[in-house]
Amino acid sequence: MIKNNKIKILITGGAGFIGTNLTKTLLEEDNPSTTLGINKVFCIDNLNDYYSPEIKKNNIKQFDDNPNYQFQKLDIKDLDNLKSYFRKIVLMQLFI
């Protein structure tokens, strides 16, 4: 069994105002969360039109080059795709 003590965070609604600001805080190098072992932030969002999807896409562009960030367009109500996404994360993390 592979033991991985690194902390991963999943943020739902990750492209919205709160989600992107939380992501930004967690990924900042001088943030105390880095001393807690947080090393990967996964964000999911369905980019619905509650407010402009273009604004949401612009919100997450700032993280495009960060290797500790991963975004997936996904609706949390879509259980089959959500399960599939989690399986990919678990498999990917076993090899990192």
Report the CATH number that the domain containing residue 19 is assigned in CATH. 3.40.50.720
Would you state the structure tokens that stand for residue 87, as one six-digit string?
A: 């399986």
Query: For the whole model, what pTM was predicted?
Result: 0.77
2 within a domain of the structure (yes/no): no
Quote the domain boundaries for residue 50.
Answer: 7-94
In whole angstroms, what is the distance from residue 86 CA to residue 70 CA? 12
How many domains are there within the chain? Answer: 1
74 within a domain of the structure (yes/no): yes
Instruction: Specify the length of the chain in residues.
Output: 96
39 within a domain of the structure (yes/no): yes
Would you state the structure tokens that stand for residue 9, as one six-digit string?
A: 């965070």
pLDDT in tens, 56-95: 999 999 999 999 999 999 998 999 998 888 877 765 544 4
1 within a domain of the structure (yes/no): no
